[in-house]
Structure 1
Amino acid sequence: MPVPVFEDMMNPTLQALKSLGGEAHIKEIEDKVSELLDLSTEDILEVHKDNRTKLGYRLAWSRNYLKRVGLLERTGRAYWSLTEEGKKAEAVDKDQIIRKIKMLDGRLANDDDEDLLDDDSKSDLDNAILRDQHNPDVEKEDTLSSEIIKPFDPKRIDITSKTLILDSIFKRISRKEINLFTDFQRQGDLWDPMKQSRLIESILIRFPLPAFYFDGTDEDQWLIVDGLQRISTLKNFVIDKTLKLQNLEFLDQFNGCNYDDLPRNLQRRIDEAEITVYIINPGTPDEVKYNVFKRINTTALILEPQEIRHAINQGVPALFVKELADLDEFKRATSYTIKTHRMLDRDFVTRFLSFYLNPYKGYQPDLDTFMNKSMAALKELSDSERLEIKSKFIGAMNGAYSLFGEDAFRKRFSRADNRKPINKALFEVWSVSLAKLTNEDLKLLIEQKDKLTDEFILLLNEDSVFSDSLSSGTGDRKRVTKRFTAIENLIQKQIQQ
């Protein structure tokens, strides 16, 4: 069914929160409402604007209305709960709520009247589920490990703090000494013109800006760790002059102006505005840099671990991972369902590479650090070694598709079971195990594919430790060992028959 208008999702929102225990993250609410309304994947991923989903956008409006009549309250960033009144309500009269809001506002809002949303709901839109974040065909994973190992010596952290004026940033941008198009960053210019204008206004009225973070490994090419949207806004206004100010709160006399239209004293106020810049210095070890990236990235849409890995492993490692992720054999084996925008596809490939290059028996948690070190190791390989790995990966993908078809890397508890989402841990263990086989053994295994499927179903049903190792605590050393040994034994049993 198509995504309903926001007023028709008030009751599903109420029901979703009740079934989730009265409080939930907006993503949990969205998933539950999708289930209650029996929405298809196409419905869930339908775009409203700016890559936001129509479902996420309209649910923000539903929460806004329910909050204003006292049934919901925001309890944290992107978290909502039922009020005491909301807990008592079995259902709401949407028409009555709409009439009440119309009386308060003097009119009814439409989907583009973001100015009528309260601050909580506007913040919701900043945290809204983007289309490419939502991948219902990939199973959610808990990677927490029961073991804690120090990732590095904190004394090796080398970050410099500087106070600069914005003009120095403008010069670096103009001279292409700040990389705005790094392979790891989410795209720039995600802010709408009003949000960009408010940033410029903040500078003009001398509000301090949040700190900027750069990777200064290459002095001639800084990489943006945190602050991409702010940098993009400044570039649009001061350098490209494509941004015209609008919806200003304090300086509305300058609505419609670009940088050149401002009086010189205001231009100078922008150019000479002081900012705090943190620079990760050259020589900082990769494992230190990875942890720093993960901790200090503070944008509304946090960088994914794989995006950080690409940030600090650019060049040969990043290009090789992308090369494998772009292979049609990989896409076919994963049913063309793994999204690319947040590098989810490359995360899968890196899982394969990590355990292919480093046998599971030597695995040390945590998983993120293990994968980052493995990706960094790619630059030490020769061209012929990488070509061999690529050939093995292609063979594993073709083998998985021959064995399981569109069920590859998915759980199945019976022959009649519905198709499940792709499981990362299963991808990791099946892809590596198949890649390690000789061509002759892989051929023998494919000849036994029906028996293999039956044995795999039996393993999932009868070995709860194995089943748990695929979804819970997947970064734990014992669980990594469990899933690899179980699949290896399963494969060898079929080959030796």
Structure 2
Amino acid sequence: MARSEVRPTVEEVALAEEQIVAQSKRIDFFLTEYSVELLAQKVRDGEYVVPDYQREFTWDERRKSRFIESLIMGLPIPFIFFWEMPDGRLEIVDGSQRLRTIEEFVYGGLQLGELDPLTHLSGFRFDDLPESRQRKIKNRSVRGIVLNEHADEAARFDMFERINTSSMIANNAEIRRGALKGPFLDVVTELANSPLLAQLAPLPAKTRRERGYEELVTRLFAYGDGLAEYRDRPADFLFAYSKRMNSAFAADPTLADSYRQRFNAVLNFVSQNFPFGFRKAEKSTTTPRTRFESIAIGVDRALAEQPELADRSADGINVASWISLPEFQEITSADGANAIKRLRGRIDYVKNKLVGHGDD
């Protein structure tokens, strides 16, 4: 993609600097070092807290063996990230697999697989090593970064996400699901399994496995309820929204049915009026997120403003008059997709077309 020749304005530079300062204040930390022996003991004794979203993602035997081989060889081990909880315990922000592998090797009888270059250690357990080597391994230190108790949940999961950008780890929807269990996310999971949603918004198998439909449903509700707190960071916004809505659903159980009705109203309207659902074409096997957002949330807001739209005929709504226009294709492109201006623009475009029944 070619870089724009337009330089940022003074106001845009100021906003960028304000955002940097605000985000930097969320992270306060200190450095520390722990011996392998101490880390193994603390994991064994349950002194570290492992968030739910990290428990489901475990290394295979080959990766465990390779990690222990690196440890024995004295190769640098990446930082372990902790959060110091208000009660003084440490929650593992990143590094639970390394810590659990260390504990399993020192205390759990982990047998090493095929190694290279330490081929003669293949098949060894910790107890098979001479005491001198055991002591040397236990004495090795692993560096840690401890976030203080003021780092909020969103900051911690954001750090986990960034550290693991290139790894096979939980995505945003999976992390929210693990970190923020509650009645709102239960409803999101329920609606994400809607057959009509799958029909209108097909997703690749990999995206489905990674809770892609839960991400779409969450965005429908979060963006549909308002963007006043949105700061061009979808992950932070959706995390804070889900946490808040869990509390709201717990306080008022009737909200669950109202959100189900709202979701079904959007899907039924799209089914009746949009020739390809949320897809670009009839035979499309995937649904661009920006296109889903523009249509789903635009419909949601249009129905809130004019409920009688649900009773109009498809000819009266006349989606075909604008859905294929270059203008709509442009506003649903991925370029700058998460910027608030682009997000509002694509949502308002669909809402205004529906409220005006396709007329400018």
Taking structure 1 as the reference length, the TM-score comes to 0.57
Provide closer, same or farther for how the CA distance between residues 433 and 379 of structure 1 changes in structure 2, counting only shifts above 3 A.
same
Measured in 2, the distance between the counterparts of 1:296 and 1:391 equals 39
Residue in structure 2 matching 1:282, options 149, 152, 158? 149
For the pair 1:207 / 2:69, whether they are aligned, the reply is: no
Q: Which amino acid aligns with 2:93?
A: V
Instruction: Provide the residue aligned with 2:278 in structure 1.
Output: 409
Instruction: Provide the residue aligned with 1:479 in structure 2.
Output: 342
Kindly report which structure 2 residues correspond to 1:421-440, keeping only aligned pairs within 5 A, or say none: 421-436=286-301, 437=303
Kindly report which structure 2 residues correspond to 1:437-476, keeping only aligned pairs within 5 A, or say none: 437=303, 441=308, 443-445=310-312, 447-448=313-314, 452-455=318-321, 458-462=322-326, 464=327, 466-471=328-333, 472-476=335-339
Provide closer, same or farther for how the CA distance between residues 449 and 374 of structure 1 changes in structure 2, counting only shifts above 3 A.
farther
Instruction: Provide the residue aligned with 1:489 in structure 2.
Output: 352
Instruction: Provide the residue aligned with 1:66 in structure 2.
Output: none
Measured in 1, the distance between the counterparts of 2:200 and 2:165 equals 35
Kindly report which structure 2 residues correspond to 1:317-332, keeping only aligned pairs within 5 A, or say none: 318-332=185-199
Per-residue CA deviation, residues 351-391 of structure 1 (Å, 9 max, x unaligned), is 11221221x57754243443333233223413333442233
**Equivalent residue of 2:32, what SS?**
strand
- Contact (CA 8 Å) 1:306, 1:346: kept in 2 or not? yes
Measured in 1, the distance between the counterparts of 2:58 and 2:186 equals 21
Measured in 2, the distance between the counterparts of 1:277 and 1:348 equals 36
Per-residue CA deviation, residues 126-164 of structure 1 (Å, 9 max, x unaligned), is xxxxxxxxxxxxxxxxxxx99746162523423232212
* RMSD of aligned Cα (Å): 3.8
Residue in structure 1 matching 2:65, options 181, 186, 197? 197
Provide closer, same or farther for how the CA distance between residues 477 and 304 of structure 1 changes in structure 2, counting only shifts above 3 A.
same
- Contact (CA 8 Å) 1:215, 1:279: kept in 2 or not? yes
Measured in 1, the distance between the counterparts of 2:163 and 2:124 equals 34
Instruction: Provide the residue aligned with 2:223 in structure 1.
Output: 355
- Contact (CA 8 Å) 1:452, 1:490: kept in 2 or not? no
Residue in structure 2 matching 1:385, options 231, 249, 255? 255
TM superposition shift of 1:221: 7.3
Structure 1 stretches of 4+ moved >6 Å = none
Kindly report which structure 2 residues correspond to 1:104-253, keeping only aligned pairs within 5 A, or say none: 148=16, 150=19, 152=22, 154-178=24-48, 182-183=52-53, 187-190=57-60, 192-193=61-62, 195-217=63-85, 223-250=91-118, 252-253=119-120
Measured in 2, the distance between the counterparts of 1:449 and 1:240 equals 68
Can you give the 5+ residue segments of structure 2 that lack an aligned partner in the other structure? 1-11
Kindly report which structure 2 residues correspond to 1:16-35, keeping only aligned pairs within 5 A, or say none: none
Provide closer, same or farther for how the CA distance between residues 401 and 448 of structure 1 changes in structure 2, counting only shifts above 3 A.
closer
Provide closer, same or farther for how the CA distance between residues 348 and 299 of structure 1 changes in structure 2, counting only shifts above 3 A.
same
Measured in 1, the distance between the counterparts of 2:154 and 2:163 equals 15
- Contact (CA 8 Å) 2:84, 2:91: kept in 1 or not? yes
Taking structure 2 as the reference length, the TM-score comes to 0.76
Measured in 1, the distance between the counterparts of 2:160 and 2:128 equals 38
Provide closer, same or farther for how the CA distance between residues 274 and 474 of structure 1 changes in structure 2, counting only shifts above 3 A.
same
Per-residue CA deviation, residues 274-320 of structure 1 (Å, 9 max, x unaligned), is 21122333232345435433444466346544455456545556545
- Contact (CA 8 Å) 2:273, 2:317: kept in 1 or not? no
Kindly report which structure 2 residues correspond to 1:28-43, keeping only aligned pairs within 5 A, or say none: none
Residue in structure 1 matching 2:264, options 371, 394, 406? 394
Provide closer, same or farther for how the CA distance between residues 196 and 365 of structure 1 changes in structure 2, counting only shifts above 3 A.
closer
Provide closer, same or farther for how the CA distance between residues 202 and 495 of structure 1 changes in structure 2, counting only shifts above 3 A.
closer
Measured in 1, the distance between the counterparts of 2:194 and 2:285 equals 23
TM superposition shift of 1:410: 1.7
Q: Which amino acid aligns with 2:35?
A: I
Provide closer, same or farther for how the CA distance between residues 420 and 258 of structure 1 changes in structure 2, counting only shifts above 3 A.
closer
Instruction: Provide the residue aligned with 1:334 in structure 2.
Output: 201
